[in-house]
Amino acid sequence: MRTPGKILRQALVFMLALLPLLGGPAHAQMTPPAPREPPGFGIVVAGGDAGEGIELRRVGFSSRRLKDGERMGALTFQAEEHKGSLVPARLDSTLAADGVSVTYQSVFLELKNYSALWGPLLTFWGLRGGATRITGSVTPSGGSRYEFTRDQIAPLLLLALPLMLEHPGFILLGGLDGASAGIALDLVPRRVWLELQVGAAIAPGYHDALIVLEQSFVVTRALSLTVAF
């Protein structure tokens, strides 16, 4: 049976446990949170090179560059293509240099972190992950032309698997395939900006009886324009 004394002690313990909660909301009501900027998105177009004389084309979408205190960031979804950035080694000495053609295509998400530098100038770095495909053709000397395709997704998955035993979030590490860094110039603050970027991405490998493609990375340089609404 619950005696009046036991009920009083339980009520006292319950009230003491509520004191921190009672104080928290009262303080929060005195200092209302700052209004959050609504999300927005925009368009990204970029051009550059992926090696000597190799034209790079990139197009996609970007979130508005959001600011949280001293931190600024944006998430982009882009498609990239360049031809000739990957150069296979020829295992057949009779294979002509122009008898091999390789095209690099990638669709990826990139998360960028910005830091104010001076005035409208900012620095940034980013991490990207997505799916990559290389397609190519080989024309042997005196033989018929053939085509090949190689796809890549989550190139660091084997590295991430042991870490996933510690925390499932490390699966994101397995999906990473590149990084970038550069300088941004705000034309309209956080709405329209130019970026000069240097990046690197893991490249798929390929080999057959005539060629072998062992280039580990593709290095790119690009100038992009982002217009966010």
> What's the confidence (pLDDT) of residue 3?
53
Q: Dump pLDDT digits (tens) for 160-169.
A: 999 988 888 8
Q: Which two tokens stand for residue 148?
A: 């090949």
pLDDT at 155 over 50: yes
Q: The domain 35-228 is classified under which CATH number: 1.10.357.10, 2.40.160.20, 1.10.1530.10, 3.40.50.300? A: 2.40.160.20
- The residue ranking higher by pLDDT, 19 or 142, is 142
With a CB cutoff of 8 Å and minimum separation 6, the contacts of 221 are: 48, 49, 50, 56, 197, 198, 199
**From the CA atom positions of the chain, what is the Rg in Å?**
27
> CA geometry: angle at 76 spanning 81 and 157, to 5°?
75
Q: Which two tokens stand for residue 122?
A: 């900012």
Residue 9 confidence class, pLDDT cut points 50, 70, 90: low
pLDDT of 139-149, one tens digit each?
Answer: 998 889 999 99
Those residues with Cβ within 8 angstroms of residue 79's Cβ, 6 or more apart along the chain or in another chain: 58, 59, 60, 105, 106, 107
Question: Any idea what the Cα angle at residue 108 is, between residues 208 and 196, rounded to 5°?
Answer: 105
Q: Give me the pLDDT at residue 38, please.
A: 60
Q: Closest Cα partner for 106 from 49, 74, 164, 151?
A: 151
Instruction: Please compute the mean of the pLDDT values over residues 186-196 and round it to a whole number.
Output: 93
The pLDDT of residue 133 is above 50:
yes
* pTM listed for this prediction: 0.80
Checking if the pLDDT of 78 tops 80, the result is yes
Task: Give residue 26's pLDDT.
Answer: 43
Position 156 pLDDT exceeds 50: yes
Give the pLDDT score at 142.
Answer: 83
d(CA 104, CA 113): 26
More confident position, 229 or 111:
111
Judge whether residue 19 has pLDDT over 50: no
Contact 184, 113 (CB under 8 A): no
Q: Which residues contact 109 (CB under 8 A, 6 or more apart)?
A: 75, 76, 77, 128, 129, 130
Domain boundaries, the chain: 1-33, 35-228
Q: Is the pLDDT of residue 34 over 70?
A: no
